[in-house]
Amino acid sequence: MPALILNWRQAYEAGVLTCGGKGYQLAKLQRYGFPVPDGGVVVADVYRRLIHAPALAGSLRAISTLRAEDVTEPMAAEALLRLQQGITAAVLPMQVCTELEHFLRECDLVDRAIAVRSSAVSEDGPNASFAGIHRSVLHVRGVDAICRAVLECFASLWTPTAVSYRRRMGFADDEVLCAVVLCAMVTTPGGDEPQSAGVAFSCDPRTGRRDLIVINATRGIGEPVVSGAVDPDHIEIRQVRVQLHLHGRITPSTPVLTPSKSVSWPTTSGVSTGHWGMVTIRRMSRGLMPARSSGSYKHGR
């Protein structure tokens, strides 16, 4: 029987249709030597089996003909809520629970807080991102809590926002299956929270300029940046030949990241590294440039 929980190596070999956009990109980074937290992926087939279980068939039929503009209507919102509740009340297959116990031991995550993050197979594509739409659950410990968090990630595909986005972008519901990333929380030594976290883009997401690295950071976990709950420390760094230079900055009252000088580096290995405060930026010879902060992190392309 195929494994339902994969480590990073296995996730890379399985591909994006099995592990979703987020899971596959993290697996790819780990394969090429980037610092990725210990973890792996619950494969999308677990979601597919659960969502097509007989117990949810009626709820699925009730929302199958919803249009994007219908989702806020009281009857539609109630039908979506029933489906979400049905998913979170479900029980994951025993194989998932058994593999999860082994996975936590193998990755040394038994006593560590982990992030449980949705990883839809159609997210982060050229035409749709699903950014901030699906659920993440942070600081999760233990098999039972992780299983509940996985179900919450599955259920988040059926919020009014998620359904409306799929309809507007032309995705059939079966095209957007959900894998789930399980990875260690990145924290300060001996602490429960990161010193800072956020999102770094290897090109300017507004203009597409590929010579700019854009960093949005805040203190603590990065979710307030993604949700728009805070005004982040916004830093733009420009690459000129093999050096990084500050291009622009919009800073809150207290800067999150402290600048350090630009660093030049050799490229014979195909990987180069520079630093901006607590953010480490690496570039591969093929042009992939994720960025990582000292906290739980995301990366942009």
List the CATH number of the domain containing 36: 3.30.1490.20
144 and 264 in a single domain? The answer is: no
pLDDT digits (tens, 9 = 90+) for 168-199: 999 999 899 999 999 999 888 878 888 888 88
Paired strand residues for 181: 41, 117
Contacting residues for 188 by C-beta, under 8 A, at least 6 apart:
194, 195, 294
Please tell me whether residues 180 and 203 are part of one structural domain.
no
- Six-digit token string for 26: 């993290």
Q: What is the pLDDT of residue 125?
A: 66
Residue 25's nearest CA partner among 37, 11, 38 is: 11
Sheet order of strands, 212-219 included = 196-201, 212-219, 233-240, 243-250
Which of 149, 186, 172 lies closest to 297, judged by CA? 186
Task: Print the domain residue range for 202.
Answer: 196-292
Q: Which residues of 100-121 are buried (b: 16+ CB within 10 A; e: fewer)?
A: beebbeebebeeeebbbbbbbb
**Long-range contact list for 81-84, CB < 8 A, 24+ apart?**
83/56, 83/59, 83/155, 83/158, 84/155, 84/156, 84/158, 84/159
Q: What percent of the chain has pLDDT over 90?
A: 53
Residue 40 placed within a domain = yes
Report yes or no on whether pTM surpasses 0.85. no
Query: Which tens digit of pLDDT belongs to each residue from 238-291?
Result: 988 778 888 888 887 777 876 653 334 334 444 444 444 444 444 443 333 344
- Rounded to the nearest 5°, which phi and psi values hold at 8? -60, -40
Name the 3-class secondary structure at 235.
strand
Q: At residue 66, does pLDDT exceed 50? A: yes
Torsion of CA 164, 165, 166, 168, to 10 degrees: 80
Q: Is the pLDDT of residue 13 over 80?
A: yes
- All residues at 6 or more sequence positions from 105 whose CB lies less than 8 Å from its CB, including other chains: none
Domains in the chain: how many in total?
A: 2
Q: In the listed set 129, 155, 184, which residue is the last one of a domain according to the structure? A: 184
Mean pLDDT value across residues 221-233: 83
